[in-house]
Amino acid sequence: MAQQLPHEEGTMLIHPPKDASGARRSTTSATFNFINSIIGSGIIGLPYALNQAGLPFGLLLLVIVALITDYSIILLIRGGNLSGTNSYQSLVQSTFGFPGFLILSALQFLYPFIAMVSLLSMVLTLTILIIVIIRSATFGPQILPTENAWAFAKWNAIQAVGVMSFAFICHHNSFLIYGSLEQPTLANWSQVTHVSVGSALIISAAFAVAGYTTFTGFTQGDIFENYCRDDNLATFGRFCFGLSIITTFPLECFVTREVLSNVFFRRDLSKVEHVVITMLIVAVCTSISLAYDCLGVVLELNGALSATPLIFIIPSACILKLSSGRWYQGENLIATILIIAGLFVMITGLTMTGLNPQDCSHGAEMFYCADANISGTAPPV
């Protein structure tokens, strides 16, 4: 049974379980862990998102997605307090029953499954950010901007929202980090959320701008596709990217396997089942990765199919279901607007991606590499 703690305003807060180590942590430690949870694989596609949306409008959308993420994370914990639950799965099952649990399980399977095609840890992400900024200053001036490179907005902005949502999704870790706080109150959680999402926004915006301004309209879904093969600094970035995949792939595989176990078996897996399911997940994911190399489309689809409902729709729907007020009253109106916006992004994004998938380089070296001076010095006269 979860313990109930008195809230400052007289309501009761459900005391969530401690984290995996069994320890309570300060808000500073929890904030660092949450930033690490937010910044991940999706950041590699943010320059591409600016290419889709336009630089000024893309940055505006990035801020909006960050604000919605911040708000929906707080909604999750508030919903947990209202329903007496301490996990995303139990919140949805308590609110919408077994069908809701199945839908959430499918989304939570889909997100890490597709995320296994491209993954980054926080440390390696910061290393790659430094590399992208350096190359923006040394390599960017040698590439002429494309037509409409500095346009305020572009028609593919909705697809860009899906990519940005993929970059900010972190809701599956929210209850765990909330439970690690020394004093798990909504006030402390709001502070952790604001600082974490704000910090992630700054890092993401810097990465997106540095990458896009270097290549403008040539920006690929995987920013490393834009760099030349004899660029040693970019090659080191690719090494960091590959190392991150090797070290983090098993963690995401564990999430997908756990979802399958909860939905289809509802018990601990035997050793044989454990091995078979793990090999099946890895085989299918690897096959998809080898068969399709356009990361931009992958990010768009995953953002629209899984990240958008996990950020926009499900937390808001839970709050509306648990609230005693009408849908148009107070904060319920905000939740209603988020649901409508999420549905619009999902449907429109999937439609646009299906009808007009973006081209990519398919691993071929970009044309400008033939005359590029990778050292960053002025070309010979």
In this predicted structure, which of 13-17, 105-109, 203-207, 354-358 has the lowest mean pLDDT?
Answer: 13-17
Amino acid 108: pLDDT: 63
| Residue-wise pLDDT tens digits, 246-281 | 766 666 677 677 777 777 777 777 888 888 888 898
> pTM score, two decimals?
0.80
Q: Which two tokens stand for residue 337?
A: 């607007």
Amino acid 116: pLDDT: 46
Amino acid at 135: R
| Residue-wise pLDDT tens digits, 77-115 | 898 888 888 777 788 888 888 777 777 777 666 655 544
Torsion of CA 216, 222, 226, 228, to 10 degrees: 160
Q: Which two tokens stand for residue 293?
A: 């190399």
Residue 176 has pLDDT above 80, yes or no: no
Residue 295 has pLDDT above 50, yes or no: yes
362: region left, alpha or beta (phi > 0 left; psi from -120 to 50 alpha): left
Question: Please, which pLDDT band fits residue 380 given cuts at 50, 70 and 90?
Answer: very low
Of all residues in the chain, what percent are helix, strand and coil, respectively (each to 5)?
Answer: 70, 5, 25
Measured from the Cβ of residue 266, the count of other Cβ atoms closer than 10 Å reads: 7
Q: Domain spanning 16-359 has what CATH number?
A: 1.20.1740.10
CA-closest candidate to residue 160, choices 358, 360, 349? 349
Amino acid 138: pLDDT: 93
Tell me what the mean pLDDT of segment 296-313 comes to: 88
Q: Provide the β-strand partners of residue 15.
A: 3
Measured from the Cβ of residue 314, the count of other Cβ atoms closer than 10 Å reads: 27
Higher pLDDT, 71 or 302: 71
Residue pair 163/301 in contact by the 8 Å Cβ criterion: no
Amino acid at 137: A
Residue 3 has pLDDT above 50, yes or no: no
Tell me what the mean pLDDT of segment 138-156 comes to: 92
Higher pLDDT, 47 or 269: 47
Mean pLDDT value across the chain: 81
Amino acid at 39: I
Residue 7 has pLDDT above 80, yes or no: no
Q: Where are the domains of the chain?
A: 16-359
